[in-house]
Amino acid sequence: MSEIDHEAFAWVVRQRSRGLNDAETARFDAWFKADRRHRGAYARALAIHNAVHLASGEQAFPARPPEADDDAVRRDAGIARRNLLLGGLAAGMALAAGRFGYSALRGDTVLTTAKGEFRRVPLQDKSIANINSGSQIEVAFTEQQRTINLRKGEAWFEVAKDKSKPFIVEAGDARIRAVGTAFSVRRLANGSEVLVTEGTVEVWSLDGSAGRRQVTAGEHAFLAHDARAIPVTRQPEEVSRKLAWREGKLVLASQTLSEAVADFNRYSPQTIVILDPALRDKRLVGQYQLDAPELFAKDVSMVLDVPVTITSEKILIGRARDADHARI
């Protein structure tokens, strides 16, 4: 331990044991301000004291009743809250399945998600639609065919096997047919993207000019609006990266900052804006929770060494030429 650590312990012990007099308080303030390391060592010393303090109490009363009015209990609550927050998204998805699954089973046919909302909806044939943020699907099941119209956004389907009734997703002009498989369809401005995670699907365009292509697990297909062909590429890692939203995650494997920002902006009510165009092509590797764009922004700030400004509506990355934003 360094001398700084020992100084920090001495301050904590003095404060906790008998309190500081005015002269000592002034000395402490000066010490605290003098060096970042002093502040860090002091925080660490407080944490150690906290650990010993909490643990000494817990040892003596292992079965402390919850109604005891004690700061340890309040801390318990605080910790539980924070850990519960960790599970918030998963719980939200489970809740959504419970709430909306019922209406889908009853035959309500249009399912919509708001920005930042995810739904896992069991359909009446036991297939499951996992609907990404800001999307809408229409479910139309008949005796002959199971049809889903992806009106906007993206959804990943786990299709229940039923050879007598093909499962067809319509996305604009694009058509995707599955028997028993799992795949996603996403509508983009210039066409539809199909990612297959299990089995095989058949894709084609309504006007038929591009023919039909089989797409199997780990493959990616893109149906451009007026393409003459449907490119299919095998990229299993990319397929699972792009579907990380199913676990509430956004995975970056050397995507550019502008791609990453566009991805986050699909989910977050806070719009991320890159102020400095020079930053757009910086490539990033990382994994984030979809609902924590500010954590991503803070990392970008640290790794790229650029300022980040977070407000309730926007996250600004970098520095505009004419503005001088505060460093976070």
Partner 1 sequence: MSDRINTEVIDWLTINFLPHEAELRTMLRRVCKDAAEIDDVIQETCCRLLDLPDLDHVRSPKPFVFRTAKNIVLDRVRRDAVVSIETMANLEELDIADTAPSPDRVVFARDELKWVFGLIANLPDRCKSVFRARRVMGMSQNETAATLGLTDSVVEHEMMKGMRLMSEMISKHGVEQQNRVRQAPAPEHALKKSNVRD
Q: For the segment 246-265, give every residue that binds partner 1 (CB under 8 A).
A: 251, 254
Nearest-approach distance from CB 196 to partner 1, in angstroms: 21
Quote the CA–CA distance of 223 and 207 in Å, as a whole number. Answer: 12
Q: How far is the CB of 111 from partner 1 (least distance, A)?
A: 24
- Residue choice 151, 152, 225, 282 for contact with partner 1 (CB under 8 A): 282
Binding to partner 1 by residue 29, rule CB under 8 A? yes
Of residues 177 through 206, those in contact with partner 1 by CB under 8 A are none
Size of the site for partner 1 (CB under 8 A): 81
Q: Does 34 bind partner 1 (CB under 8 A)?
A: no
Contact call for residues 288 and 244 (beta carbons, < 8 A)? no
Establish if 85 lies at the interface with partner 1 (CB under 8 A): yes
Q: How far is the CB of 118 from partner 1 (least distance, A)?
A: 15
Instruction: Please pick, from the candidates 179, 188, 273, 304, the single residue that binds partner 1 as defined by CB under 8 A.
Output: 304
Pairing, β 167-171 against β 146-152: parallel
**Closer residue to partner 1 in complex, CB, 39/246:** 39
39 binds partner 1 (CB under 8 A): yes
- What is the chain's alpha carbon radius of gyration, rounded to the nearest angstrom? 27
289 binds partner 1 (CB under 8 A): yes
Report if residue 295 touches partner 1, rule: CB under 8 A.
yes
Beta-strand ranges (E) seen in the chain are: 110-112, 119-122, 128-131, 136-141, 146-152, 154-158, 167-171, 174-178, 182-188, 191-198, 200-205, 212-216, 219-224, 232-234, 249-256, 271-274, 283-289, 308-310, 314-317
Give dist(CA 46, CA 28) in Å, integer. 14
Helix axes 3-17, 22-34, angle to 10 degrees: 150
Name the residue nearer to partner 1 (CB basis): 87 or 269.
87
Is 294 an interacting residue with respect to partner 1 (CB under 8 A)? yes
Q: How far apart are CA 212 and CA 204, in angstroms?
A: 5
Residue 5 found at the interface with partner 1 (CB under 8 A) = yes
* Residue of 297, 295, 288 lying closest to 257 (CA atoms): 297
91 part of the interface to partner 1, by CB under 8 A: yes
Q: Shortest distance, CB of residue 168 to partner 1, whole angstroms?
A: 35
Asked whether position 298 contacts partner 1 by CB under 8 A, the answer is yes
Minimum distance of partner 1 from residue 166's CB (angstroms): 36
Which one, 166 or 236, has the nearer CB to partner 1?
236
Cα separation, 118 vs 113, in Å, equals 6
Q: Out of 113, 154, 266, 328, point to the residue binding partner 1 (CB under 8 A).
A: 328
Is 21 an interacting residue with respect to partner 1 (CB under 8 A)?
no
Q: Using the rule CB under 8 A, is 299 a contact of partner 1? A: yes
Rule CB under 8 A: say whether 43 interacts with partner 1: yes
Instruction: Pick from 41, 137, 139, 176 the residue near partner 1 by CB under 8 A.
Output: 41
Per the CB < 8 A criterion, the answer to whether 173 and 223 are in contact is yes
Listed ranges 112-120, 154-162, 174-182, 297-305: which one lies at the site for partner 1 (CB under 8 A): 297-305
Question: Exposed, middle or buried by CB within 10 Å (0-12, 13-18, 19+), for 317?
Answer: buried
Is 10 among the residues that bind partner 1 (CB under 8 A)?
yes
Residue with token string 């502040």:
39
CA triple 71-73-77, angle to 5 deg: 115
User: 249 - beta bridge partners?
Assistant: 289
In the region spanning residues 45 to 84, those forming contacts with partner 1, defined by CB under 8 A, are 45-62, 72, 75-76, 78-80, 82-84
